[in-house]
């Protein structure tokens, strides 16, 4: 269960790479913890630190201008690979509260902005995944490049990302209504499923988990 989130304002930071996988977001040596905390310092570990363990100046997110950023702008298929929720805990504990990425193309050839399991894990941790078009994300990359310390507001209720430029720029985004509701109200989704316990019990009476059939005669 998380704190309710309706909207928030924060600094934008860019990571100009596609297909960023969860092994990059948090390498395996940090998966040995039995706790849910302490992952923020390990976010993008292999890219972020040099051999001596100091900040790698080449890595985009280490730039002074991105310090304290809470909205990450990146490229498509972010979070692919392993199901490790540690990746989302790392994103969260680093301070990001929303990730913006583009989908590419249309119809059956559409490439999604986010990998499936990662996106699910984000929803469970109230990290807002915002999928925009390629052109829109490109425009945001340009604006972040041009205006140092650029801030934006994520308005979850209105499903809008608003860039605070001299002339405000806003982008509408879609979100699963169930996810939106859970995040806005900070709902405990295990509790929500347990509200259906009568249905679950009735289902279990007719469902044999060994041989499945529950609805066939």
Partner 1 sequence: MAKTLFEKIWEQHVVTTLEDGTSIMYIDRHLIHEVTSPQAFEGLRLTGRKVRRPELTFATMDHNVPTDDRYNIKDPISKAQIEALTDNCKEFGIQLFDLNSDKQGVVHIIGPELGITMPGTTIVCGDSHTSTHGAFGTFAMGIGTSEVEHVLATQCLPQKKPKTFKVEFAGIPKAPVSAKDLILKFIGVVGTAGGTGYVLEYCGEAIRALSMEERMTICNMSIEAGARGGLIAPDETTIDYIVKNDRPYAPKGEELEKAIEYWKSLPSDPGATYDREITIDVTNLSPQVTWGTSPGMVMDVTGTIPNVDEVPGYSPKDVQHTLDYMGLTPGTPLTDIKVDTVFIGSCTNGRIEDLRIAAKYFKGKKVAEGVHALIVPGSQQVKKQATEEGLDKIFVEAGCDWRESGCSMCLAMNPDQLKPGERAASTSNRNFEGRQGKGGRTHLVSPQMAAAAAVEGHFVDIRTWEED
Q: Is 127 exposed, middle or buried (0-12, 13-18, 19+ CB in 10 A)?
A: buried
Nearer to partner 1 among residue 18 and residue 169 (C-beta): 18
Q: Closest approach of Cβ 162 to partner 1, in Å?
A: 26
176-185 own/partner pairs: CB under 8 Å, 24+ apart: 176/123, 179/123, 180/156, 182/123, 182/126, 183/2, 183/4, 183/5, 183/123, 183/126, 183/128, 183/156, 184/4, 184/5, 184/6, 184/156, 184/157, 185/4
Number of residues that bind partner 1 (CB under 8 A): 62
Binding region for partner 1 (CB under 8 A) out of 61-69, 132-140, 165-173, 197-205:
197-205
Q: What does the per-residue mask of binding to partner 1 show for 169-188, with x meaning CB under 8 A?
A: -------xxx--x------x
Contact status: 209 vs partner 1 (CB under 8 A)? yes
Nearer to partner 1 among residue 168 and residue 174 (C-beta): 174
Contact status: 57 vs partner 1 (CB under 8 A)? no
Q: Closest approach of Cβ 116 to partner 1, in Å?
A: 5
User: CB of 143 within 8 A of CB of 169?
Assistant: yes
Q: What backbone torsions phi and psi does residue 215 show, to the nearest 5 degrees?
A: -110, -10
Q: Closest approach of Cβ 40 to partner 1, in Å?
A: 16
Work out which of 56, 120, 153, 159 binds partner 1, going by CB under 8 A: 120
Binding residues among 9-28 for partner 1 as defined by CB under 8 A: 16-19, 21, 23-24, 27-28
Q: Closest approach of Cβ 131 to partner 1, in Å?
A: 11
Binding residues among 93-112 for partner 1 as defined by CB under 8 A: 108, 111-112
Contact status: 129 vs partner 1 (CB under 8 A)? no
Indicate the angle between helix axes 177-185 and 116-124, nearest 10 degrees.
Answer: 30
What b-and-e string marks burial along 9-39, b requiring 16 or more CB atoms within 10 Å of the CB? ebbbbbbeeeebebebbbbeebeeeeeeeeb
Interacting residues with partner 1 (CB under 8 A): 16-19, 21, 23-24, 27-29, 31-36, 46, 76-77, 80-86, 88, 108, 111-112, 115-117, 120-121, 124-125, 176-178, 181, 188-190, 192-194, 196, 199-200, 203-204, 207-216
């Amino acid at each position: 269960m998380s704190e309710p989130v309706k909207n928030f304002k924060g600094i934008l930071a860019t990571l100009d790479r596609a297909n960023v996988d969860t092994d990059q977001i948090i390498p395996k040596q940090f998966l040995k913890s039995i706790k849910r905390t302490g992952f923020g310092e390990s976010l993008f570990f292999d890219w972020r630190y040099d051999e001596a363990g100091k900040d790698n100046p080449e890595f985009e997110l280490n730039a002074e201008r991105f310090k304290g950023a809470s909205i990450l702008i990146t490229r498509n298929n972010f979070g692919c690979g392993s199901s490790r929720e540690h990746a989302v805990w790392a994103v969260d504990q680093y301070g990001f509260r929303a990730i913006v990425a583009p989908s590419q193309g249309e119809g059956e050839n559409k490439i999604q902005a986010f990998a499936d399991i990662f996106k699910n894990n984000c929803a469970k941790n109230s990290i807002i995944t915002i999928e925009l078009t390629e052109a829109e994300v490109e425009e945001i990359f340009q604006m972040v490049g041009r205006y140092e310390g650029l801030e934006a507001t994520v308005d979850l209720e209105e499903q809008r990302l608003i860039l605070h430029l001299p002339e405000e720029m806003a982008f509408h985004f879609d979100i699963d209504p169930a996810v939106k509701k859970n995040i806005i109200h900070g709902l405990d989704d295990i509790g929500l499923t347990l509200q259906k316990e009568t249905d679950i019990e009735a289902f279990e009476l007719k469902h044999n988990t060994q041989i499945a059939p529950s609805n066939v005669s």
